[in-house]
Amino acid sequence: MLQTIAVLIAVGMAVFIVFPLLSADTAAGPLPLDVTLLGDLKRRRLVVYDNLKDLEFEFQSGKIAREDYEALRTNYLGEAAGLMAATQEAEQLKQDDAVVEREIAARRATRKSQPKIEYKCQACGYENPLPVKFCGECGARLATPGKK
Amino acid sequence: MNQVGSVGLIAALAFAAYALVAGAVGGYLRSPRITRSAERAAWGFFLMITLAVAALEYMILTNDFHNAYVAEHSNRDLLTYYKVAALWAGQEGSLLFWTWLLSIYSALVVWQNRRKNRQLMPYVVSVLMGTGTFFSLLVFFVANPFQELAVATSTGTQAFTAPDGNGLNPLLQYHSMVIHPPMLYLGYVGMVVPFAFAMAALITRQLGDNWIRITRRWTMVPWMLLGTGILLGGNWAYAVLGWGGYWGWDPVENASLLPWLAGTAFLHSVMIQEKRGMLKVWNVALVILTFFLSIFGTFLTRSGIVSSVHAFAQSNIGPFFAVFLAIILFFSVTLLFLRLDHLKSENKLDSMVSRESGFLFNNWILLALVFAIFWGTLFPVISKAIENTTVTVGAPFFNKVAIPMGLLLLLLTGAGPLLAWRKTSFQSIRRNFTAPLIVAGAAGAVMFAEGVRNLYAWMTLFLSVFVAVCILGEFWKGAHTRMRTASENFAVALYNLTMRNTRRYGGYVVHIGIVLLFIGFAGQAFKADTKGLMQEGDLLRINNYELRLSELVSGDNPNYEYTRAIFSVTKNGEAFTSMHPEKRFYKASQQPTSYVAIHPTLSEDLYVVLAGLDPGTNKAIVQVFVNPLVMWVWIGGVVTLLGTLLALVPSRVEREMAEMRLAQEMIVQAGDAF
Amino acid sequence: MTGVTGKTDCSKTTRGLASAILLSTLLGASLARGAEARKPTVESIGNEVQCTCGCVAPVNQCPMLNCSEKAEIRAFISKEISEGKEEKTILQDLSLRYGLQVLSAPPAKGFNLAVWILPGLGLLVGLSLVVVIVRRWNSKPADESPAPPATYDPKVLAAMEEEMKSAGLH
C-alpha cells in the first residue's frame, strides 16, 4: 500500500518534470541573458564608487597619506569616467531603432547557432552575443563590427 | 517501509541522472524548456530523497528492527533525541543523510535562482545533480540502508526481526554530537554550490564577477557551518573522550580542517577579484580545491585508508570515491585550462605593501598549511606503499608544523586590515602600527613578568593583543571619523559604520573571534593534571584545588548502569563547587564510557574523569585536569559565527546592486516571452 | 598624471620592516622548539608515543577505559627514566620494542625525512610563487592606468557626478 503511494508520487513527479518538454510553446526564445551590457557597466561603476568611498574614508581616518590618496582618487575617477563614457555611447546606440532590430535578429540567430564572431572581444576573447561597441565582459572597445 | 525507501532512492537516482544530462543539454541548446525540466528534476530529487530519509527515520523511531541498519544503530530505550541522530550514526545512513543535504542545497539554489542567472543555471543544476547521481548510486548499490536483517541458515539466509537493536554508540550519546555531524556535513556538502557556479561560469565563459559574487556568499555559508561543526566536534571530544583536550590531529579532524582552510583562503582572495579584478585563475582554482578537499574528507572518513578514532565501518566504498575524485579533478582542471584566456587580470599590483599583497601572504600561509596537513595525514599511507613500513604521524608533528604557521597567520590577521588597498606608504604604516605595537609590547612585558616562559604561548598572547588592538582600533578610528564627518554620537557612528560595510566589519568581528580562539589554544601550554586511586573521604590536590571524594553512588536506568563519584571541591581553601563524574555501562551496546564532569570558568576549567574502579581494591581511579582558557575557544567560536552572520547581512552597496539586478532582470524578462 | 609609481624608498623600508617581523616570528618559532628539550617525564614522552591498543591516540590521550597497553607502555617508560636514560634513547627503545608506528612521528631519517622536509619546502615554493606573481603584476605596462577624468566630455563627467551623489559620494 505504502509502496504503491511512493511509486505514484515518483510517477507524478516524473510527469511534472517531463511536462515542460511537451509544451508546444515554441515561441519561447533562448535563455535570457544574465548580464546586460548597460547593467554590467553600471555595476562596475558602483564598484569603483565603493572603492572611492573606501579611499575617502581611509584617508579621513588617517590610514593613508595625502599623496597616495590624491593619486588613487584621480585614478579611480578616471576609471569611472571611462565606464560612464562607455555607457553613454551604448545608450546612444540603443536609441537607434535599427539597433533594436539588429538585437532581435541577433537573438534569433543565437537560438540556432553560436554568437557571431564579429563581436568577439580582442582584449579578453569574450564572444558578445549582441552587436556592441564595448565588450560586455571587460569593457574594452571592440573593433568596428563587420556588418553595420 | 524498506520498499518505500528503495522506491525513493531509485526515483531520486533516475531524476538526478536525468537532470545531469538535461541540464547540460538545456545549457548547450540555450533552451528554456529543457532547463525548466532539469530544474524540476532537481526538485524531484529533493522530494524523493526526502521520502527515503523519512522512511528510514520512521523505522528508527518506531523500533522497526527487521531493518538491518535500525537494528545496528538504535535500540528501544534510546532517547528520542538520539534516535533521530541514529540516521547519521552509521555508514549507510550518513551517506543517505549527505545526499539529502545535497538535495536540500540543490532545491534552495534552484529556488533562489528561479528568475536569475538563467544562462548559468542549467550547468549549475547539471553539476549539482552529477554529484547527486554519484551519491545516490553509492547509497542505492553499495551502502543501502534499506536492507532486511538476515541470518544465515542451512538453506541460505533468512529474514528475521531482532527483538531489540544494538543501540547507538554510547560515545555519540552527547548533545553536541547530535548537531556536530549535521553541521559538518552541511559544511562539506555546501561547498558543492560554489563549485557548481564556478563550473557553470567556466562553461558559459561568463567569468565577469557575477559568478564570483554568488560564489562568495555561497562559500561563506558552508564555511561557517563547517567551522561550527569542527568546533562542536572539538567540544564533543573534550566533554566525552576524557583526555582533557579538544583537538588531537586525528586524520578525520584534519580532513574537516582542510576544506575549511582552503575556503578561508578563497574568502580572502575573492576580495581582490571583486575590488580589483585580479587573481581570477587563482580564485577558480581555490573553489575547485575546496570542493575537492570536501569530497576528499568524506572519502578519508569512510574508506578506512587511514586509521582514525572515528570508527566508521571500513567498507568497499573507497574505490568509488577515488574514481569520483579523479573525475572532479580532471573535469574541472581541464575546463580551467580551456578558459585561461578569459581569466586575465584587469589590473596590476601597485605596491608590494598593500592590502592585496597582505591577502597574497595570507593565501600563501593558508595553502602551505593545507599542504602540510594533507601531507602529514597521508604520509602513513605513502610510507606503507613505498617503504612498506608502518609509521604514525601524530599530534607532535602537526603541532610543530602548524603552530609557527598559525602564528604567522595571526600576525597577518592584525596587520592586513591596517594596509590600505593598492598602496600604503611608510608614514601610514608607522602611524597605524605604533599604537598596537606599544600596547602589545607592554602586555608582553607584563606576561613575561607574570611568568609566561613558554615562547609559543607568549608569542600567541603577544600577537593576540597586537591583533585585538589593531582591529578595535579600526572600529574606533572608523567610528570617530563618522562622528566627525556625519556628526553622530559614538554608538550611532559605530552602528552605521558596521551596517554600511557589513562584509568588512563582520570580517573584523571574525578576526576577533580567531584571536579569542588563539588565546584559548595558548592555554594548552599551562595545562596541569594529576591522577589518584581514591576511596570515600580521600583528598586529591591539583594547583590550588582540593577535591574530596565524598560519595560513590551506583545506579541504573533503562539505557545504562552507572557509578557516580561525588566530589566536593575547594579552591584556595574555600568551598568552590561539587562535581559528579560518572562511569557508565550502556546495556544495548554493552560498552562502557565515562561521563566527564567539567567546571568551566573564564580563566580555567576543572575537569574530572572517573576512569573506573580499581578491580583489586574497589577504589575509584580518578583523573583531574586543570585546563586554562579553554572557555575562550568556545567563545571565540561563537564570536566567529556571529561575525560571519554579520558579514552575510547585505550592506548598502550590495542592496543597491541587488535592486539594479532586479530592474535589469525585468527588462530582460519583458524582452523574452519566458 | 601622477599615477602610481610603484616602488619608492618608503616601500623598500616598509618591506624591510615586514620581512624583519616575518623573520623574527620564524626565528622565535624555531627557538621555541629548542626550548622544548627538558628532562623527560612519563607525561612528556607519553605525548610523543602512540598507544598500541588501536585507539589511534597518543598514550596520554588514549580514551579507552580498560586499556592495558597504555599502562604497559607507561611502565616501560618510567622504568627507562629511572635508569637515567635520555628521551632520545627511550624513544629508540620503544620503537625497537613496539615497532616504528609507536612513535607519534617517524624519525627524520631516510625516506621518512620527507615528512619533515616537504612542509617546509611547500612553504618556500609557495613564497617563491607569490614573489613571481607579484613581479609579473608589477611588470605590467603602466599605460593601462585610466586617463585622467579631465580628458572626458563634460556630459560624461556631469552624469558621473550625479551618479556619485546618489551613491552617497559628494
The DSSP-derived string for chain C is --------HHHHHHHHHHHHHHHHHHHHHHHHHHHT-----HHHHHTTBB-TTS--SBGGG---TT-HHHHHHHHHHHHHHHTT--HHHHHHHHHHHH-GGGBSS--SSGGGHHHHHHHHHHHHHHHHHHHHHHHHHHTS-GGGSPPPGGGS-HHHHHHHHHHHHHTT--
Please state, in angstroms and as integers, the Cα–Cα distance from residue B333 to each residue in B25, B273, B284, following that order. 21, 20, 10
Provide the domain count of chain C: 2
Indicate the pLDDT class of residue C141, thresholds 50, 70 and 90.
low
Cα-Cα-Cα-Cα dihedral sign, residues C148, C154, C159, C164: positive
End-to-end CA distance of chain C: 23
The pLDDT value given to residue A112: 57
Residue A11 to chain B, least CA–CA distance (Å)? 9
The DSSP-derived string for B220-279 is HHHHHHHHHHHHHHHHHIIIII-SS-S----HHHHHHHHHHHHHHHHHHHHHHHHHH---
Pick B71 or A105 by higher pLDDT.
B71
Selecting from B361, B395, B426 the residue whose C-beta is nearest the C-beta of C14 gives B426
The pLDDT value given to residue B356: 83
The answer to whether the CB atoms of B383 and C28 lie below 8 A apart is no
The pLDDT of A17-22, averaged and rounded, is 85
For an interface test with B, the pick among C24, C137, C144 (most B C-beta atoms closer than 10 Å) comes out as C137
- Are C101 and C63 within one domain? yes
- Are C76 and C90 within one domain? yes
**Closest by Cα among B372, B367, B203, B220 to B279:** B367
Please state, in angstroms and as integers, the Cα–Cα distance from residue B609 to each residue in A28, A30, B409, following that order. 69, 67, 35
Residue C18 pLDDT > 70? no
pTM of the model: 0.85
The pLDDT value given to residue B653: 63
- Asked if residue C48 belongs to a domain, the reply is yes
The pLDDT value given to residue B604: 92
Residue A59 pLDDT > 90? no
Residue C153 to chain B, least CA–CA distance (Å)? 24
Helix (H, G, I), strand (E, B), or coil: what is residue B452?
Answer: coil
The pLDDT value given to residue B183: 92
Q: Return d(Cα A7, Cα A3) in angstroms, integer.
A: 6
- Asked if residue C49 belongs to a domain, the reply is yes
Q: Which residues pair with B130 in a beta bridge?
A: none
The pLDDT value given to residue B460: 92
The answer to whether the CB atoms of B118 and A32 lie below 8 A apart is yes
Indicate the pLDDT class of residue C4, thresholds 50, 70 and 90.
very low
Q: Return d(Cα B120, Cα B656) in angstroms, integer.
A: 22
Indicate the pLDDT class of residue C10, thresholds 50, 70 and 90.
very low
**Residues of B numbered 313-352 whose beta carbons fall under 8 angstroms of chain A's beta carbons: which are they?**
341-342, 344, 346
Phi-psi region of A49 (alpha: psi -120 to 50; beta: other; left: phi over 0): alpha
Q: Which residues pair with B539 in a beta bridge?
A: B548
Chain A residue nearest residue B210, CA to CA:
A35
- Are C54 and C95 within one domain? yes
In a 10 Å sphere around its CB, with 0-12 CB exposed, 13-18 middle and 19+ buried, how is residue B191 labelled? buried
- Asked if residue C75 belongs to a domain, the reply is yes
Q: Return d(Cα B588, Cα B570) in angstroms, integer.
A: 38
Residue B504 in grid coordinates: 568588512
The pLDDT value given to residue B442: 92
Place of cell 580532471: B330
The pLDDT value given to residue B159: 72
For an interface test with B, the pick among A8, A13, A40 (most B C-beta atoms closer than 10 Å) comes out as A13
Which chain C residues are within 8 Å of B351, Cβ to Cβ?
4, 6-7, 11
What residue type is B473 in one-letter code?
G
- Asked if residue C135 belongs to a domain, the reply is yes
- Are C70 and C93 within one domain? yes
Selecting from B4, B11, B671 the residue whose C-beta is nearest the C-beta of A2 gives B4
Pick A134 or C91 by higher pLDDT.
C91
- Asked if residue C32 belongs to a domain, the reply is no
Residue A40 pLDDT > 80? no
- Are C50 and C99 within one domain? yes
The answer to whether the CB atoms of B243 and C10 lie below 8 A apart is no
Domain's final residue, options C82, C105, C128: C105
Is the distance from CB of B307 to CB of B294 less than 8 angstroms?
no
For an interface test with A, the pick among B477, B483, B497, B508 (most A C-beta atoms closer than 10 Å) comes out as B477
What are the per-10-residue average pLDDT scores of chain B (674 residues)? Answer: 90 96 91 90 95 94 88 84 87 92 96 86 96 94 86 72 77 80 92 95 84 89 95 89 84 92 94 83 94 91 68 70 94 92 74 80 93 91 82 84 92 85 76 87 89 87 93 89 84 88 91 95 88 88 91 87 92 90 83 87 92 84 91 95 92 66 52 36
What residue type is B150 in one-letter code?
A
Is the distance from CB of B31 to CB of A30 less than 8 angstroms?
yes
Q: What percent of chain C has pLDDT over 90?
A: 3
Tens-digit pLDDT profile for residues B101-141: 999 999 999 999 888 888 899 999 999 999 999 999 999 99
Which chain B residues are within 8 Å of A3, Cβ to Cβ?
3-4, 7
Q: Return d(Cα B236, Cα B98) in angstroms, integer.
A: 21
Chain B residue nearest residue A100, CA to CA:
B671
The answer to whether the CB atoms of B342 and A28 lie below 8 A apart is no
Domain extent listing, chain B: 1-173, 210-343+353-402, 403-517+637-652, 526-631
Which chain B residues are within 8 Å of A32, Cβ to Cβ?
118-119, 668-669, 671-672, 674
Domain that holds residue C116: 108-142
Residue C60 pLDDT > 90? no
The DSSP-derived string for A57-115 is HHHHTT-S-HHHHHHHHHHHHHHHHHHHHHHHHHHHHHHSHHHHHHHHHHHHHHHHSPP
Residue B182 in grid coordinates: 549535521
- Are C52 and C95 within one domain? yes
Q: Return d(Cα C110, Cα B122) in angstroms, integer.
A: 52
The pLDDT value given to residue B153: 72
Residue B360 in grid coordinates: 597574497
**Closest by Cα among B69, B468, B138, B112 to B318:** B138
Q: How far, rounded to the nearest angstrom, does the alpha carbon of residue B613 sit from its chain's CA centroid? A: 37
- Are C70 and C126 within one domain? no
Selecting from A49, A56, A81 the residue whose C-beta is nearest the C-beta of C156 gives A81
The answer to whether the CB atoms of A53 and C169 lie below 8 A apart is yes
Instruction: Specify the DSSP class assigned to residue B627.
Output: E
Query: Is the Cβ of B476 closer than 8 Å to some Cβ of chain A?
Result: no
Residue A85 to chain C, least CA–CA distance (Å)? 6
- Are C97 and C133 within one domain? no
For chain C, the chains sharing at least 3 beta-carbon pairs closer than 8 angstroms are A, B
The answer to whether the CB atoms of A75 and C152 lie below 8 A apart is no
The answer to whether the CB atoms of B353 and C21 lie below 8 A apart is no
Please state, in angstroms and as integers, the Cα–Cα distance from residue A110 to each residue in A4, A32, A128, B295, B674, following that order. 45, 11, 11, 37, 16
Place of cell 609509521: B391
Instruction: Compute φ and ψ for C116, nearest 5 degrees.
Output: -85, -35
Which chain B residues are within 8 Å of A47, Cβ to Cβ?
274-275
Q: Return d(Cα B172, Cα B310) in angstroms, integer.
A: 11
A20-28 long-range Cβ contacts below 8 angstroms, 24+ apart: A20/B33, A20/B34, A20/B36, A20/B37, A20/B40, A21/B33, A21/B34, A21/B37, A23/B33, A25/B33, A27/B673, A28/B32, A28/B33, A28/B672, A28/B673, A28/B674
The pLDDT value given to residue C158: 81
Q: Where are the alpha helices (DSSP H) in A23-65?
A: 37-60
- Are C55 and C69 within one domain? yes
Chain A residue nearest residue B476, CA to CA:
A61
Place of cell 570558568: B601
Q: Return d(Cα B653, Cα A57) in angstroms, integer.
A: 15
Pick B144 or A108 by higher pLDDT.
B144
- Asked if residue C9 belongs to a domain, the reply is no
What residue type is A9 in one-letter code?
I
Q: Return d(Cα B478, Cα B472) in angstroms, integer.
A: 10
Instruction: Specify the DSSP class assigned to residue B437.
Output: H
Instruction: Specify the DSSP class assigned to residue B74.
Output: -
Helix axis angle for B32-61 and B121-137, nearest 10°, is 30
Cα-Cα-Cα-Cα dihedral sign, residues B341, B346, B350, B351: negative
**Closest by Cα among B274, B199, B263 to B228:** B263
Tens-digit pLDDT profile for residues A122-133: 777 777 766 677
The answer to whether the CB atoms of B652 and C168 lie below 8 A apart is yes
- Are C69 and C92 within one domain? yes
The answer to whether the CB atoms of C115 and B393 lie below 8 A apart is yes
Residue A62 to chain B, least CA–CA distance (Å)? 8
Tens-digit pLDDT profile for residues B150-180: 777 777 677 777 777 777 777 777 777 788 8
**Residues of C numbered 151-170 whose beta carbons fall under 8 angstroms of chain A's beta carbons: which are they?**
152-153, 155-157, 159-160, 163-164, 167-169
- Are C70 and C44 within one domain? yes
Residue B441 in grid coordinates: 609590547
Domain's final residue, options C84, C105, C126: C105
Is the distance from CB of C53 to CB of C64 less than 8 angstroms?
yes
Chain C residue nearest residue A56, CA to CA:
C169
Mean pLDDT of chain A: 75
The pLDDT of A39-50, averaged and rounded, is 81
Which chain A residues are within 8 Å of B47, Cβ to Cβ?
9, 13
- Are C114 and C99 within one domain? no
Selecting from A17, A32, A36 the residue whose C-beta is nearest the C-beta of B37 gives A17
